[in-house]
């Protein structure tokens, strides 16, 4: 029944690529940049990958239990005499190299230099490659037990240009969570500053809100997730008319709702697929562990530990931890909605992120049993998922700038279509337009980060006036 996977291009020898990279790694560590031997090796690698990439790519080389696979097919030419090379790569924590169309020779050199120094730093591979401008080569680990599920290496935090206040709040949250993870007491002063920054700066920035509401192409395990959930809870709290004092309490509670995860080993938090009973218990304990940390911290709002304890409880009871028939506090219910939306619009090692529109459908499905229906309705109907000035892509692969929202169509704004190369405006489009059957003609699939240094605000006013 199943269609056989297309055979890899016959000219491609994954072992040759791996050997080339290993040789380049040594050369990059031995000779100065620009040395002719480096240039020669780069050219050899470039020649090896040119043809297969021209056919569409990507080239996926994985090492599974010591054997080299090309595009998920064991490479017969590569089984002989490859042991030292494979060991060298796996010793570096690398057993997956994917090369995408558009790769430049400089990227191979940057990867080789990275591999040379890799053992010396503890920073995430994806971040280190991004900082070296490597955009078309990914290095990663495969899941040791289930080789059918490819471990996808997502960045741990947003990449690309970030709203400055949002970037600062992420840094503050990272510091706070890392300290807590290292066993230090919670820094309540920083938490308070962070809550102020979120309420008075980040919540007023369309750019920041766009970055938080969009599909998130990164695996935000705790601190980014916490900042994002705090912002989404704040938005939802505003829409249901909470007072300023309660909004501050809500933002603080949302920011710290998952603080218990700092006490759980990362490999359990990140583990894809089914967890065994002990692992599940451990994960679930982040609610009680968090509440314990927060009860001990002086100067927090009394509801903050409550929200940490209750945010995985359903509105009809159920969920975890077991608290009998207790119904979660309304503040916990707000954080639950924000938490679910944030989690599914972010990436996981085993799952691509879900676009906002589908995420809203998932929320709707959970409403009534797990989530509060009125809160889900408010969230889905009142939050502007693509704020003014967001750069978005549609299901028809159009690129556009959001120029009008708030027409009762939170997922379907009016956009100015932009030219892919020059970003100059080429027309106006209402994404809420429906076809003869009543279905939307197009949906927004993602929010796109504008290229570095490009400011599209000047397009906003004339476009809206048009």
Residues in contact with Fe ion by the rule CB under 5 A: 258
By CB neighbour count within 10 A (0-12 exposed, 13-18 middle, 19+ buried), where does 78 fall?
Answer: buried
Least separation, in Å, of the C-beta of 283 and Fe ion? 9
Q: How far apart are CB 119 and Fe ion at their closest, in Å?
A: 34
Q: How far is the CB of 380 from Fe ion (least distance, A)?
A: 21
Q: How far is the CB of 271 from Fe ion (least distance, A)?
A: 15
Q: Of 13 and 258, which has the nearer Cβ to Fe ion? A: 258
- Between residues 336 and 394, which has the closer beta carbon with respect to Fe ion? 336
Tell me the C-alpha distance between 368 and 378, whole Å.
13
Count the neighbouring beta carbons within 10 Å of the beta carbon of residue 404. 16
- Whichever of 156 and 258 has its CB closer to Fe ion, that residue is 258
Measured over the CA atoms of residue 303, residue 305, residue 306 and residue 312, the dihedral's sign is positive
Shortest distance (Å) from residue 231 CB to Fe ion: 16
Describe the strand order of the beta sheet including 59-64 as a list of residue ranges.
73-74, 67-70, 59-64, 96-99, 137-140
CA quadruple 300, 303, 304, 310: dihedral, nearest 10:
160
Residues 309 and 317: their CA atoms lie apart, in Å, by 13
Task: Give the nearer residue to Fe ion in terms of CB position, either 21 or 264.
Answer: 264
Closer Cβ to Fe ion, 260 or 400, answer by number: 260
Task: Specify the 3-state DSSP secondary structure of 351.
Answer: strand
Task: Name which of 161 and 317 has its Cβ closer to Fe ion.
Answer: 317
Which token pair is 319?
Answer: 């969920």
| Residue 239 burial (10 A CB sphere; 0-12, 13-18, 19+) | middle
Compare residues 78 and 300 and give the one whose CB is closer to Fe ion.
300
What residues are paired with 315 via a beta bridge? 317
Shortest separation between residue 356's beta carbon and Fe ion, angstroms: 21
Q: Which is nearer to Fe ion, 197 or 221 (CB)?
A: 221
Q: Please check whether residue 392 is in contact with residue 210, taking contact to mean a CB–CB distance below 8 angstroms.
A: no
Q: Which tokens is 373 given?
A: 């229906």
d(CA 226, CA 308): 11
- Closer CB to Fe ion, residue 45 or residue 375? 375
3-state secondary structure of 129: helix
- Helical pair 286-296 and 303-310, crossing angle rounded to 10 deg: 170
For Fe ion, the nearest residue by Cβ is 258
To Fe ion, the closest distance from the beta carbon of 441 in angstroms equals 38
* Shortest separation between residue 202's beta carbon and Fe ion, angstroms: 21
Whose Cβ is closer to Fe ion: residue 153's or residue 306's? Answer: 306
Beta strands in 18-175 (DSSP E): 59-64, 67-70, 73-74, 96-99, 137-140
Residue-wise over 242-280: b if at least 16 C-beta within 10 A, else e?
A: beeebbbbbbbbbbbbbbbbbbbeeeebebeeeeeeebe
Q: Which is nearer to Fe ion, 366 or 391 (CB)?
A: 366
In the complex, what is the shortest distance from the CB of residue 367 to Fe ion, in angstroms, rounded to a whole number? 19
Asked if residue 370 lies in contact with residue 382, where contact means CB atoms within 8 angstroms, the answer is no
CB of 212 to Fe ion, least distance (A): 17
Could you count the other beta carbons within 10 Å of the beta carbon of residue 175?
Answer: 14
Helices (H), 64-103: 83-91
Least distance from Fe ion to the Cβ atom of residue 258, Å: 4
């Amino acid at each position: 029944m199943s269609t056989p996977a297309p055979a890899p291009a016959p000219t491609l020898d994954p072992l040759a690529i791996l050997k080339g990279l290993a040789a380049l790694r040594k050369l990059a560590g031995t000779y100065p940049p620009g040395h002719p031997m480096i240039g020669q090796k780069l050219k050899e690698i470039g020649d090896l990958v040119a043809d297969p990439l021209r056919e569409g790519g990507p080239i996926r080389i994985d090492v599974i239990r010591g054997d080299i696979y090309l595009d998920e097919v064991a490479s017969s030419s590569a089984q002989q005499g490859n042991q030292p090379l494979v060991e060298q790569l796996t010793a570096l924590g690398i057993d997956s190299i994917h090369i995408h169309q558009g790769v430049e020779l400089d990227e191979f050199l940057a990867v080789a230099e990275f591999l040379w120094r890799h053992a010396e730093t503890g920073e995430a591979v994806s971040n280190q490659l991004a900082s070296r401008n490597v955009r078309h080569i990914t290095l990663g680990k495969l899941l040791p037990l289930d080789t059918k599920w490819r471990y996808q290496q997502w960045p741990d935090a947003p990449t690309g240009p970030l709203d400055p206040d949002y970037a600062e709040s992420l840094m503050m949250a990272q510091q706070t969570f890392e300290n807590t993870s290292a066993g230090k007491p919670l820094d309540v002063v920083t938490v308070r500053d962070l809550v102020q920054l979120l309420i008075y700066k980040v919540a007023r920035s369309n750019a920041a809100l766009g970055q938080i509401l969009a599909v998130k192409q990164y695996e935000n395990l705790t601190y980014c997730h916490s900042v994002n959930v705090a912002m989404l809870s704040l938005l939802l709290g505003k829409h249901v008319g909470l007072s300023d004092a309660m909004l501050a309490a809500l933002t603080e509670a949302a920011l710290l709702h998952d603080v218990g995860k700092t006490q759980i080993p990362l490999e359990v938090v990140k583990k894809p697929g089914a967890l065994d009973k002990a692992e599940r218990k451990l994960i679930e304990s982040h609610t009680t562990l968090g509440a314990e940390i927060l009860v001990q911290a002086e100067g927090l709002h009394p509801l903050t530990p409550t929200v940490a304890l209750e945010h995985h409880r359903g509105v009809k009871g159920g969920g975890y931890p077991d608290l009998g028939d207790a119904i979660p506090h309304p503040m916990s219910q707000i954080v639950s909605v924000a938490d679910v939306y944030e989690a599914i619009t972010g990436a996981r090692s085993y799952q691509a992120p879900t676009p906002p529109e589908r995420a809203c459908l998932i929320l709707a499905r959970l409403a009534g049993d797990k989530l509060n229906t009125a809160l889900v309705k408010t969230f889905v109907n009142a939050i502007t998922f693509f704020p003014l000035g967001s750069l978005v892509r549609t299901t028809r692969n159009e690129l556009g700038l959001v120029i009008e929202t708030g027409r009762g169509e939170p997922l379907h704004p009016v956009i100015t279509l932009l030219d892919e190369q020059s970003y100059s405006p080429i027309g106006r489009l209402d994404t809420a337009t429906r076809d003869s059957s009543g279905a939307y003609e197009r949906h927004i699939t993602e929010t796109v980060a504008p290229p570095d240094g490009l400011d599209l605000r000047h397009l906003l006013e004339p476009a809206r006036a048009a």
